[in-house]
Structure formats: C-alpha cells, structure tokens
Structure 1
Amino acid sequence: MKIDVLTLFPKMFEGPMGESMIGKAQENGHLEINISNFRDYSANKHHTVDDYPYGGGAGMLLKVQPIYDNLQSIKKSSPDTKKRVVLLDPAGTPFNQKMAEDFAQEEHLVFICGHYEGYDERIRSLVTDEVSIGDYVLTGGELGAMVMIDATVRLLPEVLGNELSAKTDSHSTGLLEHPQYTRPAVFNEMEVPEVLKNGNHKLIERWQLKEALRRTWIRRPDMLESIELTDEMNTLLKEIKHER
C-alpha cells in the first residue's frame, strides 16, 4: 500500500509513522508513506495557503490552489494507481472499523489534513471521501489521519503477524472482544476462568462468544442492534440477562 499525506505540519508524523507496526511495515516493504507540505505548492510569493472567506465570517479558509497542485503532483508521480482521496473534516462520515477494512483494500490512499476555519468548498470536489474520527473539533486533521492510518495499516496482510488477531478484534466481529488472560493462572487471588484451562475448545469458543456478548450488551448495547444474532447468540443473551 502507498499512503500520501498532505499537511502543513509534516514533523507531526515523524515519530508515530516510524514506530511500532507502521514502522515495521515500511521496513519490510509492505507500506510506503509520503508526507508533503502543501504550502510548498502555493503559487503565492509569500507561500500563503489561506485567505478570508467571501461574504465575511470568522477565521480563514484553506485555498484550493495549493491542495489541487499537490494532488496533481501525486497523480503524476504514480499515474497507474487508483487513488482514494480522504478529506479530514468534522462534518465527514464517522470513521469506524468497517471503513478501515475498506481502506485496507485500496492500493493508494491520500489524506488531506485541514487547518484554520475550514476549506474552500471547491476542495471537496477533489476528494472521494470526507471523514471524521468523532464529534469534536481538533486543531487540525493530522491526529485524525494518524488514527485512520494506524487502524488501516494493521489490517494489511503480514503486518500484524497473526491474521486472526485483526479478525477477532473488537468491532471487527460486530461485538466487543471477549476478556483475555495470560500467565500466571493466579495473581493476587485473581484466577483465570477454569474453562480456559481445560483444553475443551468447544467450551472455550462458547465461553468466548458468551463473554463477548456480555461485554457488548453491558457496554455497547447499540451494537447488538446492527448485527444479525444467531440462535446460539440469542440463547446466550437470555442466559446473560438471567444471570444479570
């Protein structure tokens, strides 16, 4: 996968994009990330990228020309790849695991990080997606872009090292992930559930599903409304509610 990021603050990406799984993915040749400062593409002699809005109003807007020219440069450097261009915007579609899975199927992603009061509306005509990471406003789109890149890259083949890890994550299955334990079996009188130690895989799978349902029902009951429950899941939910 190739990722390009358009930003006014390239140094913000130097640490996070070079560490952990993302850093290793680049070292192993599974990922290429390029960060560009769209101020470098400003046609203004002072390299300004913002201006006052027509009709008045508070704040400054990002101009369309620098971002347009930056995108054109990216297209010329890799003309044979289909690009998905993502605009970071508080008014965009909320980012979620399904979107990360969709992004992970792409060959080339481009993220545009905004600043100031907002965008010249014509910038929206240059993108394929407008995305937000939550119902709040950040200083700029950089942190949001990093969140989306991290959530996407970890889904690429061979990046996690264990493909099953991503498939069983919270939200990937439609449920929150079940509780997990490692050694020691007893710590400060807190014990690992016996079912996980008996080697009966059928019982373990049933326990894991039940606990995933329990955690989802208690913490995020809204998620249960968006998935189709099997007969087994309905039976387990009845047990959970009775136990509650």
Structure 2
Amino acid sequence: MRFDLITLFPELFTAFLQCGVTRRAYESRQVDVRLWNPRDFAEGPYRRVDDRPFGGGPGMVMLAEPLARCVTAIRAERSDGAPLVLFSPTGERIDHARVEREASGPGAILLCGRYEGVDQRFVDSHVDLQLSLGDFVLSGGEVAAMALLDAVARLQPGVLGDAGSHESDSFNPALDGLLDCPHYTRPEDWRGQRVPAELLSGHHAQIDRWRRERRLEVTARLRPDLIEAARAAGRLAPQDERFLRQL
C-alpha cells in the first residue's frame, strides 16, 4: 500500500520512518510512504502557501492552488483513485475499525493541515474523508498522520516479532473490543508488589480466565461504553456477565 503525505514539514517524518519495529514496514515498502511539500508547487520567490482569511480574524489559511497542484502531481504518479484524507478537528474519530480498513486497503493521500485550516473550496472539491484523533486541536496534521501510519504499519504481516501480538491489543475484535489486561514481567516481587498468582500457576485455562476477567474489569471501570457495545453484539458469555455483576 502507498501513502502520499502532503506536509509543510516533511523533516518531521525522518526519524519516525526509521525508528521502532514499524520501520520494517516502511523499509520493505509494505507501507510505501512518500512525502510531498506544497511549497514546491507554490509560486513567487517566497513560495507562499498561506494567506489571511477573508472576513478577518486571527491566523492564516492554507491556499487552495498549491495544494491542488500537489494533488495533481500525486495522482499523475498513482492511478488507483486513492482517497484524499484531511486531518481536521471536524473529522471522524480514528478507531480500530478505521485502522483495520486502512491496513487492508491500497493506501491514501494524507493532507496535514496547518494554521487555521485549509481553504474550504479545496476541501469541497478534493477531500474525500476527514479524520481526527479526538476532541482537541493540534498545531498540524503531522502527529495524526504518524498515529495512523503507525497503527496501520504494525498490522502488516511480519512487522511485529510475534504475528499474534496485535490480536491481544485493546479494541481488537479478537478480544471482543475490550481493553487489554495488565501485564507483568520479572522479577516476581518488585518492591513488595507480587505478580498475580494465577500468572505463575502454569495452568493455561486459569491464566486465560484471569486475563479475561481483568479485561472485563478494566473495561467496565474505564470504558463502560465498550462493555455495552460488546453486550449488544452478543460477545459476552454468561460467565462474563456473572463476573460483571460481581464487580
């Protein structure tokens, strides 16, 4: 899959694409990331990409023309009709289902907005989808783009050391959309805090049940909406419901 990133700060992605386990996906081109700077498509000696908003007000707005030329150049290189995604506070919140769809698709053109935003005429004529990390505002879309790329890259075959690692992640349908359970490692006793006995028992069924119950407990305490979603989808067994009633 291929992701074309439109960003005024391509240098922000240098370390991101070279560090951590997900770099395998970028180095192998399983996730082919290409960076485009709209300044390269702007006119004038200063390569201006923004201007003051009509109607007054603070900040600047990204110009439509350099972005349109940049998109035209990208589409001249790829003919798959990839959607153009704008990261924006008004966008659909990214969740695990969205990440899974992107991870199995052809990729996209990702526009990292800056300043007060992008000229609405460009949005109306070119943007296919708007995405958001949550109900807060960032200085630009680069952090959101990195988050989406990282989530997509780690789902690619061979990227994680253990092929089943992502199946135990929070929100994964394999765990019925619940949060993950707590994890422990050596030593068994750390400053008076011991590893739960169930995890040291060697009894696989007992360990599995402990993990299931901790997932239910953590999710019920922190994200009860996920419990309701799992219940509505028929994902909770009678044993799960009995445990939840005891909490």
TM-score normalized by the length of structure 2: 0.89
Deviation at 1:84? 2.8
Deviation at 1:211? 0.5
Matched with 2:110 is 111
Deviation at 1:235? 1.5
Deviation at 1:44? 4.5
Deviation at 1:3? 1.5
Deviation at 1:45? 5.2
Residue identity opposite 1:99 in structure 2: R
Contact 2:25 2:156 in 1 (8 A): no
Q: Deviations over 1:155-200 (max 9, x none)?
A: 1122113232111111223111111222333333322222222222
Contact 2:63 2:119 in 1 (8 A): yes
CA distance in 1, matches of 2:160, 2:104: 16
Unaligned 5+ segments in structure 2 are none
Residue identity opposite 1:111 in structure 2: L
Deviation at 1:51? 2.1
Relative to structure 1, is the Cα distance of residues 50 and 29 closer, same or farther in structure 2, using a 3 angstrom cutoff? Answer: closer
Matched with 2:223 is 220
SS at match of 2:121: helix
Matched with 2:95 is 96
Residue identity opposite 1:221 in structure 2: P
Contact 2:17 2:26 in 1 (8 A): no
Contact 2:25 2:159 in 1 (8 A): yes
Relative to structure 1, is the Cα distance of residues 111 and 29 closer, same or farther in structure 2, using a 3 angstrom cutoff? Answer: closer
SS at match of 2:164: helix
Contact 1:59 1:117 in 2 (8 A): yes
Residue identity opposite 2:243 in structure 1: L
Please show how residues 45-64 of structure 1 align to structure 2 within 5 Å. Answer: 46-64=46-64
- Percent identity between matched residues is 35
Residue identity opposite 1:94 in structure 2: R
Paired residues, number: 239
CA distance in 2, matches of 1:63, 1:233: 54
Relative to structure 1, is the Cα distance of residues 150 and 12 closer, same or farther in structure 2, using a 3 angstrom cutoff? Answer: same
Q: 2:244 aligns with which of 227, 237, 240?
A: 237
Contact 2:5 2:109 in 1 (8 A): yes
Unaligned 5+ segments in structure 1 are none
CA distance in 1, matches of 2:195, 2:3: 42
CA distance in 1, matches of 2:160, 2:170: 15
Deviation at 1:77? 1.1
CA distance in 2, matches of 1:45, 1:220: 53
Matched with 2:199 is 196
Q: Deviations over 1:129-152 (max 9, x none)?
A: 101112111111111111111122
TM-score normalized by the length of structure 1: 0.90
SS at match of 2:40: helix
Relative to structure 1, is the Cα distance of residues 82 and 159 closer, same or farther in structure 2, using a 3 angstrom cutoff? Answer: farther
Residue identity opposite 2:224 in structure 1: P
CA distance in 2, matches of 1:204, 1:39: 56
Deviation at 1:82? 4.0
SS at match of 1:93: strand
Contact 1:169 1:176 in 2 (8 A): yes
